[in-house]
Every structure is written in C-alpha cells, then in structure tokens.
Amino acid sequence: MAQEFPTVELPVEPVLSTIVGVAPNEPLRIAPNRALWKAQDSMLGQSRRILAEYHLQGSSSWAVPAGTVDPTGGSQVYPERNAWRTVAVHHALQAPGTKLECHCIYCPAGLTQRVQGANWFNTGPWARLRVRATWTNADSVSYSEDFELSMEGSEKGTWGGAENTAAGSDWYALREKVMENIMPPDFETDPEVGVLFSEWSRVRIELQVLGGERIVHAIVYEVPSVYTLEHDDDGLLSVHGAPPGNPEKPRRPQTERGPTSGTFEQNRWGTRAVLRANERQSARLGPRLMQWAANSHSGTDWDELGQVPLSVGASLTLANAFITSATGWAADRPGWIVAGSMAQLHRLNASNFMRGRAAVVPVRVIVDGLYTGSASTLRLQSSAYEWIDVALPSTRGEVVAYGYLASQVYGDHFAGILQPLITTPGGSGASIYNISIDFCEEDTVAAFNNIKVLAADVVNNNAVANTIADVTGLSFAVVAGATYKFRFVIKYDSAATTTGSRWSINGPAAPTALHYTSHYTITATTETTNSATAYDIPAASNLSSLTTGNIAIIEGFITPSVNGTVIARFASEVSSSAITARAGSTVEWSRVL
C-alpha cells in the first residue's frame, strides 16, 4: 500500500521541561552530563500520559436524544437533571511529582428533565463533566476530590438542546475546555500535603457526566507539578527533589552537606541519588499502555444507572469480546497496541535475550466486571505466547492481575496487539465495564484495596420490623485462614425520619477473628456507634434517620475459618417502612495477612 506524506518540515526541536518553575514544553535542554552535574534537583518532567478517557469509540451518534421530542409529558426522554452517570473508571500509577489535567472536546449539550408527580418537565439544555479522583499513597492514605467543568447547551430546536443537522455542522460547533490542577488541595503549596502524594500515588479516576452531554473526547492526563521529599528517614525514593518547607525549591546543585543535612536522608546530591532514583523508576515508570471503558453510545447507554457493560455470551472457547465470531488470538485482528518499547527492561529484554526481535513488558491489569452463572475468565493476550488471565468476580468488582505482555520492540513496530478474550465454561456470560493497564514490575501500594460498587438500590421494606437482610451486591469473597481489612461506606435513604435502621455484616460461620465497628445516622448531628465481634450486631435498630443523606460506615478485620462471602446487612426499625441502600455505595477490602 502506498504511503504518501505532505512535503512539510518536521518539528525536530522537541524540548524538555522541568517541574521546578518551568511550564510544560518550555525550551530547556538538559544534556545528560549537565543534568547530572548541574541540575541535580531538577525533576523529570516528561510525563504526559493519558490515564483516563471517554469518547465516542467510533459511534456515529451520541446516546443522548437529539432534542426532537417534547420534553414535557408523562415520560422521561432526556437525562434527569440531578442524576450523575459514571462513564469510565480507571486506575493508574501516577508518575512522581505530577498532577492531572482534563481536556474535553464537546458539542453543545442536549436537554435535561425533572419529574414532578407523574409528569416530566424541561430543565434546559446543559451538561457537566466531573472527574472524581482518589489518590492513595504507599501508606494507604487516601484523598478524594471532585473537579467539574460545565458544557453549554445547544440553543437550537423548538425546546433548545437540539443537535445540528447540516453537513459537518457538529464539527463547526465543537468546543473544548481544560480543567487544570486536578490534585489534592494544597498539593503544590503545602509541603505536608505534597509529601503525602509525591511518591508513586495510585489514583482512581472516575469520569462522570450530568445532563445532555455530547462529548467527543475527554482525557485526563499527567503534567509536571512539584515533588516534595520528606527528609526524615532513608526510604527509597524515586525522585530527587526539593525539601519541604522551602517554597523557593532551590535549583542549585546540592552537596552532601546540604543546608539541612544532619538528620535528613541525602536524596539531593550526587550520582548515588540519581542512580537510586533510576533504579526505582525502572521498575515502576513506563508508558500508560491502555484504558478502556464500556460505552456504546447507542440505545439506553446514557441510562442513569451508569455504564452499559460489554456483554459476552456463553462460550467454552476464548471468544473475542469485540468480534464475537472470532475465537482465540490472531495478529491481524483489532485490539490495542502495547506500546512499551521505551520501557523495556534489561532483565527481560536485553538485546541478546530476544535479539531485538521480540519484547515483553511487566504490567498491572485492573478489570472491572463480573460473570453470570459459573466462573469466567477474561484473557488479555498480546501475542501467541504472552497473556494475562483475570478471573472475573460473581458480582461486579475490580480485579487486579500482574504478568507480562508482548510489546513493540520499537515505536514503529507492528507487534503486541492486545485482544480481549473471554471464556465462560458452564456460565451464561460475562460483562466488562472498565480495563486499565499500566507498566508495572513493582506495585506502589502493597495492600491494594479492592473495591466494589453497589450497582443498584437495595431496599429493605420487610413487613416485620427490624428484620435484617443482605445488601445484595455489596460483598466480597474470603478464604479460610487469611485476614482481611474491610470498609463499607453505604449511603442510604429512609422512608421517614421516624424510621431508624441498623447496619452490620454477615460472613462465613465461626470466624477465627472478627473485629469491626459501625457508625450510622440518627440525625444530622448524631450517629449510632457500635463495636462488635460477632455478625449482625447490634440486635436493635436505632430510632430515627434522615430521609436522604444518611451514611453507614462499617469497618474492621476478619479472619474466616472457612471460605465464604462477607456481606453488608441492614434492617428497618419500622415494619413496611423502607430503608434503601443506594447505588454507588462501596466496599473496599484488602487481604493483610
């Protein structure tokens, strides 16, 4: 096939930036030796990796209606004005010293509605995009924050919010916005905060939309920010940088007897610091290999319950999740490319090992999905010899797996085509919501928190007061002898303020050890508190709730004696007066022993 290129001059002046005081892409050339000898404190400011995205994925239309139907009437046609919809959930190992930005390309939004009684009403055309970022550092310290941007509505059509119709007109209506400074508050200004999240934070990025969004492409990506060290021990750090408490972030060369030496670790001087940082980075720093979120942009894909997953029917063989007629891996089928050429490791890819003809990269895979029926496996395969199997859970949850994937050897090498294959022996199918794949030989958070999100409301409206029942779906599997840390965070509604509740857990019989506490709402300023060593504690419900905005938190440790499932439980104080555990509630757990 012929390849033709316009006769243009290449931009052969790529530039390098530093984190400290220099904006991205400002010319600053750092030759290696000069970097070593003169700029020991300059940061590695190259990372521009996309960590999360939401886009049309080839669709010819958006799922939200085009605005040609009267929004006033007896049925819902358009998104409800207050219902946020999750469209992607991605995890990443964030490069040291970076913050995040979001770039969104979109067309003016469609209509929204509200319901009053039995009727729906027009609440105008508009939309919002929200980035819900949760950072967790190596000490399992977490911080979560929401960042939002608005997208103006279309003024077209009888009721507003109509999509364009003329040839190419959506292109000419395109808008774009950027959200900057997606980071924990005071990350750049308060050294005490900066030091918490500078070193290899893991970030969970949830993209949510509200209203009649017409997004073409939204990305969340890294940009250099600032790196703060805590000079209090001899920990292994991946970047050498400026100490806390010094807003000037001195760029002068540091000496072993630096201005604050004595009790501090010496991360800021000499080849030792550089080499130690590089050694750490070689095991953790590489390209972001892929992220994918299920959004078909068809039918009811704007449904307020959130993402419509990619569903795969029963298959005894490895069925391609995207091309159901295909089975197994083949080099000429579509997929994602494993572009890891720049992150090849000597210990895996030295030129005399695979002769520069093949390459592998170590990766971490996080899959959000479930199976129905019997156990199913998602295989992410990138060559005839390399793949990673991910055992899907029975209820929706995020599963972590590690392994190797075949990669490009060079950036222009046709190799490493990653394809998703699913086998459901004895089952009826599987559903995949999100996939994230990072370069990773060493993970950054030893006790990785698994998380499961309640997909739909669960109601306890039992005719017998105080009858405890499962919060179906808010559970996790455990094996005998292991010890788990868990934390349920459940948002719930009550049919009346005079209807109280109780919240607890159940699990495999006769646990070897069980310790947990629970806290849940009485009024806006008071809560019920319990400590327990047995299931279904307390026995009685409290006496009141808010109608909305209640929170129940149950956290503790369990060491089961037999395999089984730990699940949240709840009861209503009043017969036939509903307590509703709301969709979006979570359980996070990790095995600690």
Partner 1 sequence: VPTRSQSTSPEDRACIRFYGDDGSTSLADLATDLGQYESDLTVGAGNDCVYEASPATRFNLTIPRTIAMVLSVAHSTNSTLWNHGSGSSRDRLRVEAGNYEYAPAGSTAVITAPVPAGTSQIVSVRSEPNPGSMGDHDAVRSTLEIYDVTNSVLTRYTATHEARSLPTAEFAFLAVASDGTNSYIDAGGECTTLRFSSRAVAFSEIAQDWIANLSNVTSDAKLERQGLPLTEESGVGEQAEFHGAAAQLAASQLRHVQWRTMGPALNWCFINNSAIDDTDHSDASHREKIMLAPGGDTGTGFRLRLGWFGVAPVHPFCNALWVEVLARCWNVTDADLRTFGLRIYSFNKLPIIGQQLQGNPGEEQDPFDYRYGEATFTADDSAPGVYRIQAVVPVAVGESGIARGKTYIGLAYAMDLLDEGAETFQIAAYSMHTVQMFDTTVGLPPGGGPAGESG
Q: Residue 242 CB, nearest distance to partner 1 (Å)? A: 17
Amino acid present at 397: G
Asked if 294 interacts with partner 1 (CB under 8 A), we say yes
Q: Are 28 and 22 in contact (CB under 8 A)?
A: yes
For 282, counting Cβ atoms within 10 Å of its Cβ (0-12 exposed, 13-18 middle, 19+ buried), the class is middle
Amino acid present at 449: N
Chosen residue from 65, 153, 335, 508 binding partner 1 by CB under 8 A: 335
What is the DSSP code (8-state) at residue 228? B
Nearer to partner 1, 416 or 473 (CB): 416
Chosen residue from 384, 456, 480, 539 binding partner 1 by CB under 8 A: 384
Q: Residue 332 CB, nearest distance to partner 1 (Å)? A: 6
Residue list 19-58, contact with partner 1 (CB under 8 A): 24-25, 29-37, 44-50, 53, 55-58
Amino acid present at 152: E
Q: Which helix (H) or strand (E) holds 77?
A: none
**Contact window for partner 1 (CB under 8 A) among 253-261, 386-394, 494-502, 561-569:** 386-394
Asked if 103 interacts with partner 1 (CB under 8 A), we say yes
Please tell me the distance from the alpha carbon of residue 420 to that of residue 519, in angstroms, as a whole number: 42
Nearer to partner 1, 295 or 528 (CB): 295
Residue list 462-501, contact with partner 1 (CB under 8 A): 482
Helix (H, G, I), strand (E, B), or coil: what is residue 146? Answer: strand
Residue list 439-458, contact with partner 1 (CB under 8 A): 440-443, 446-448
Opening angle at CA 315, ends 310 and 318, nearest 5: 85
Q: Residue 337 CB, nearest distance to partner 1 (Å)? A: 4
Q: Residue 303 CB, nearest distance to partner 1 (Å)? A: 16
**Contact window for partner 1 (CB under 8 A) among 271-279, 489-497, 502-510, 560-568:** 271-279
Q: Are 222 and 102 in contact (CB under 8 A)?
A: no
- String of contacts with partner 1 for each residue 414-433, x by CB under 8 A: xx------------------
Please tell me the distance from the alpha carbon of residue 128 to that of residue 365, in angstroms, as a whole number: 30
**Contact window for partner 1 (CB under 8 A) among 79-87, 403-411, 489-497, 505-513:** 403-411
Asked if 342 interacts with partner 1 (CB under 8 A), we say yes
Helices (H), 229-301: 270-284
Within 13 Å and on the Cβ side, how many CA atoms surround 581?
32
Q: How many CB atoms lie under 10 A from the CB of residue 112?
A: 25
- String of contacts with partner 1 for each residue 59-78, x by CB under 8 A: xxx-----------------
Q: What φ, ψ does residue 335 adopt, rounded to 5°?
A: 180, -155
Please tell me the distance from the alpha carbon of residue 202 to that of residue 198, in angstroms, as a whole number: 10
**Contact window for partner 1 (CB under 8 A) among 183-191, 196-204, 243-251, 347-355:** 347-355
Pairing between β-strand 387-391 and β-strand 377-381 as defined by DSSP bridges: antiparallel
Chosen residue from 140, 188, 251, 322 binding partner 1 by CB under 8 A: 322
Chosen residue from 172, 313, 428, 498 binding partner 1 by CB under 8 A: 172
Distance of CA 34 to the CA centre of its chain: 38
Distances (CA, A) of 532 to 496, 512, 545, 551: 27, 14, 22, 19
Q: Residue 4 CB, nearest distance to partner 1 (Å)? A: 5
Asked if 349 interacts with partner 1 (CB under 8 A), we say yes
Nearer to partner 1, 212 or 287 (CB): 287
Distances (CA, A) of 479 to 52, 310, 559, 561: 33, 29, 8, 8
Asked if 357 interacts with partner 1 (CB under 8 A), we say yes
**Contact window for partner 1 (CB under 8 A) among 76-84, 127-135, 172-180, 242-250:** 172-180
Q: Are 147 and 133 in contact (CB under 8 A)?
A: yes
**Contact window for partner 1 (CB under 8 A) among 161-169, 513-521, 536-544, 581-589:** 161-169
Distance of CA 360 to the CA centre of its chain: 25
Residue list 207-266, contact with partner 1 (CB under 8 A): 216-217, 219, 221-223
**Contact window for partner 1 (CB under 8 A) among 6-14, 488-496, 503-511, 521-529:** 6-14
Please tell me the distance from the alpha carbon of residue 264 to that of residue 209, in angstroms, as a whole number: 46
Asked if 325 interacts with partner 1 (CB under 8 A), we say no
